[in-house]
């Protein structure tokens, strides 16, 4: 497994690049210390991102490599979600957003969509009570209207039942596409101008404020993608403008606290300037 942060010339390590050997050592050390403390891989003084967003990729490849049906990878991926929620809480992360089902995923074969929606039903009915007890607040973003009515009811109930929790804000992107989100926000802004609720001459900042309030959450500080792929795939395109990106060469069902902590350590090494200079 490797972490890819930017391209390096052959035989060199560019600033911010984590070699495969270094990463393997870090994960081995994290596993070795796991019995001592759940936070053993988080060092004193390490900068922890307030908001981590994750593109969970590789369920199908995980299943295929084992000669299993794709749904087996999705089921194992749901267990990785539980491990990641626990890792986020233990690390002190306040916001966690996971990309569970994209708007493009509706193009998949009908049988796979049926399996995925069935898994979503089971997840909502088996996990929400535990998430509530753990202090997790659930939110959902995306076009939930495309799901069956019983799933829509369960989504609303999960949000309502956990709305007073504050230990971790867990946002799950379902039937989500960032381009559609931006287009909808632009239409809402135009309507606000038409009705006099927004000043069309308010300048760049007021326009950005309107768009930034779409999901009702802070911008992600760190975006993690598993499986070795290096793209955002229509996920939080507006919000991730200044996020740090970490690509992990591990399939999502194998993702655990050690991988999460390695990504957090890489984030802590980055110098974030947001377009400004620090001379």
Residues labelled as active-site residues? 57, 105
Cβ atoms of residues 223 and 244 within 8 Å: yes
- Nearest Cα residue to 42 out of 268, 270, 254, 272: 268
Interstrand relation of 168-176 and 95-102 (parallel, antiparallel or unpaired): parallel
Distance (Å, whole) CA 255 – CA 76: 10
Residues shown for the chain: 279
> Are residues 188 and 155 in contact, defined by beta-carbon separation less than 8 angstroms?
no
In the numeric block, the tokens 């076009």 are attached to 143
Burial 47-56 (b: 16+ CB within 10 A, else e): ebbebbbbbb
Sequence-distant (6+) residues with CB within 8 A of 55 are 99, 223, 224, 225, 226, 232, 233, 235
């Amino acid at each position: 497994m490797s972490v890819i942060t930017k391209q390096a010339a052959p035989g060199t390590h560019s600033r911010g690049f984590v070699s495969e050997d270094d990463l393997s050592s870090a994960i081995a050390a994290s596993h070795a210390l796991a019995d001592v403390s759940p936070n053993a891989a988080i060092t004193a003084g390490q900068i922890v991102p307030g908001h981590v967003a994750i593109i969970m990729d590789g369920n199908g490849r995980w299943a295929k490599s084992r000669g299993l049906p794709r749904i087996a990878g999705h089921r194992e991926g749901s267990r990785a979600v539980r491990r990641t929620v626990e890792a986020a809480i233990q690390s002190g992360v306040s916001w966690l957003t996971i990309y569970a089902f994209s708007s493009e995923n509706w193009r998949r074969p009908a049988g796979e969509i049926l399996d995925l929606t069935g898994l979503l039903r089971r997840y909502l009915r088996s996990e929400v009570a535990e998430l509530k007890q753990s202090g997790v607040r659930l939110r959902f973003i995306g076009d939930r209207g495309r799901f069956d009515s019983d799933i829509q009811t369960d989504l609303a109930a999960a949000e309502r039942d956990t709305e007073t929790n504050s230990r971790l804000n867990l946002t799950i992107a379902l039937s989500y596409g960032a381009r559609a989100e931006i287009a909808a926000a632009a239409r809402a802004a135009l309507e606000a101008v038409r009705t006099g609720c927004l000043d069309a001459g308010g300048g760049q900042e007021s326009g950005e404020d309107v768009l930034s309030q779409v999901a009702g959450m802070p911008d992600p500080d760190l975006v993690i993608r598993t499986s070795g792929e290096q793209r955002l795939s229509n996920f939080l395109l507006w919000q991730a403008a200044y996020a740090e990106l970490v690509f992990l060469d591990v399939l999502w069902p194998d993702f655990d606290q050690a991988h999460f902590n390695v990504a957090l350590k890489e984030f802590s090494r980055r110098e974030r300037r947001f377009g400004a200079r620090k001379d």
